[in-house]
């Protein structure tokens, strides 16, 4: 059977038919503002679960929405690539902000967000002490974030992937640099935190999903920036995580790894589940080379007692057959204002 060209006339007509229904247009507007489950959309638009599910199937089949499973929950969001993404954005742009139906939906969506934020805040309060304990062992997190921004420079990225996104802070930090950004994490609780942060920051071009850092899947597109921030020390096989990150990089794409230099704090292994007590530069560089990457810059941020290290690598393999990163307009967002840390740096070597 011949595969339909997603840019062809048949597909565009299918998309237009899918949009041309009031309930489905409402659902698209909601999913353009937040990742939502079926039950949440049922509560917001006041229709039956079977009816909402049928509408969502039409929208997914037309390539306007995508599903992401998190355990028993399935979240829906707008697609960000292809003809469907362009058409649905144009359709939503034509809707009146003061439309009474959409305004009512927006009010009920705000209530859903408040419930989410309260649950996320409760989880954060429960675990904040543990996270603060680790942060107290190295330089201020604002200095680390500024170092990341300095390392990446002023380049604009079409597609960002944050592996082990946790609270979503890296997505929030790098949002001004990327046209689209996605975070993956294996913890539904952390994804709830990240989703709440993204919604509060109003960075609608960022999204999160349940994912495995060893098996990122094949989304039909590649990323020109992948970040692994304070995640590698939890990995059973850090080399495999690097290899999987390299696999989804676009030609010339960059991988930024942030983690600890070697240390002897066994308490982090015993009390915080760290499997590795830091990484030597040669170790990370070797994993990158084995994955077809080359290390461009290494920076050390000395702390007491932990030193944070930043490794920046770039794809150098012949991957011309990979799908090109789509050209999407980068959002206009303010760059974060952070104090500049004192850094030591080398190009292709050890600081």
Domains and CATH numbers, the chain: 9-109 (1.10.10.10), 137-347 (3.40.50.150)
Q: Please report, for the chain, how many H helices and E strands are present, in that order.
A: 12, 10
How does strand 73-78 pair with strand 206-210?
Answer: unpaired
The neighbour count for residue 314, using CB atoms within 10 Å, is 16
pLDDT at 336: 40
Confidence of residue 70 (pLDDT cuts 50, 70, 90): low
Q: 261, 300 in Cβ contact below 8 A? A: yes
C-alpha count within 13 angstroms, C-beta hemisphere, residue 233: 24
**pTM of model > 0.85:** no
Average pLDDT over residues 43-61: 93
**pLDDT, average across residues 115-132:** 66
- The overall average pLDDT reported for the chain is 81
Between residues 334 and 155, the one the model is more confident about: 155
pLDDT of residue 338: 40
How far is residue 228's CA from residue 263's CA, in Å, rounded to a whole number?
A: 19
pLDDT tens for 180-215 read 999 999 888 888 888 988 988 989 899 999 888 989
The SS3 assignment for 338 reads: coil
Residue 143, pLDDT above cutoff 90: yes
Mean pLDDT on 43-57: 93
Give me the pLDDT at residue 123, please. Answer: 56
pLDDT band at 342 (very low <50, low <70, confident <90, very high): very low
For the chain, the first-to-last Cα distance in angstroms comes to 57
Tell me: the pLDDT tens digits for 145-189? 999 999 999 999 999 999 999 889 999 999 999 999 999 998 888
Between 296 and 98, whose confidence is greater? 296
- pLDDT digits 0-9 by tens, 257-313: 999 999 988 888 777 878 888 999 999 999 999 999 999 999 999 988 999 999 999
The average pLDDT across 213-236 equals 85
Between residues 15 and 2, the one the model is more confident about? 15
Q: How do residues 103-122 score in pLDDT, each as one tens digit?
A: 999 999 988 878 877 775 66
* Cα 201 from Cα 190, distance rounded (Å): 17
334 φ/ψ angles, rounded to the nearest 5 degrees: -70, 140
Residue 345 has pLDDT above 70, yes or no: no
Distance CA 269, CA 123 (A): 22
Least confidently predicted of 60-64, 125-129, 195-199: 125-129
Among 187, 236, 232, 229, which residue's Cα sits nearest to residue 209?
187
């Amino acid at each position: 059977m011949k595969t339909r060209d997603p840019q062809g006339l048949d597909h565009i007509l299918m998309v237009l038919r899918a949009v041309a229904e009031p309930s489905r247009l409402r659902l698209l507007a909601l999913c353009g503002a937040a990742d939502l489950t079926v039950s949440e959309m049922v509560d917001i638009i006041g229709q039956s679960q079977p009816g909402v599910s049928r509408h969502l199937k039409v929208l997914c089949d037309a390539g306007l929405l995508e599903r992401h499973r998190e355990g028993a929950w399935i979240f829906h969001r707008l697609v960000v690539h292809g003809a469907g993404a362009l058409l649905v954005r144009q359709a939503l742009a034509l809707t009146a902000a003061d439309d009474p139906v959409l305004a009512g939906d927006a009010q009920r969506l705000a209530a859903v967000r408040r419930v989410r934020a309260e649950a996320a805040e409760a989880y954060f309060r429960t675990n904040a002490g543990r996270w603060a304990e680790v942060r107290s062992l190295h330089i201020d997190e604002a200095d680390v974030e500024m170092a990341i921004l300095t390392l990446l420079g002023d380049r604009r990225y079409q597609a960002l992937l944050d592996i082990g996104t946790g609270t979503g802070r890296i997505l929030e930090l790098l949002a001004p640099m990327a046209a689209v950004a996605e975070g993956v994490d294996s913890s539904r609780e952390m994804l709830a935190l990240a989703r709440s942060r993204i919604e509060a920051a109003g960075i609608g071009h960022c999204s999160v999903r349940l994912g495995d850092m060893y098996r990122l899947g094949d989304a039909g597109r590649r990323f020109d920036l992948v970040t692994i921030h304070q995640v590698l020390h939890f990995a059973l096989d850090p080399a495999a995580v690097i290899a999987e990150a390299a696999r989804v990089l676009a030609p010339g794409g960059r991988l930024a790894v942030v983690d600890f230099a070697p240390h002897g704090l066994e308490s982090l292994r015993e009390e915080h589940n760290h499997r590795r007590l830091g990484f030597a530069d040669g170790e990370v560089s070797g994993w990158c080379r084995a994955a077809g990457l080359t290390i461009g810059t290494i920076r050390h941020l000395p702390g007491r007692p932990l030193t944070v290290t930043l490794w920046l690598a770039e794809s150098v393999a012949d991957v011309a057959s990979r799908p090109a990163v789509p050209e999407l307009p980068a959002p206009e967002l303010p760059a974060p204002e952070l104090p500049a840390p004192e850094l030591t740096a080398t190009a292709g070597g050890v600081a």
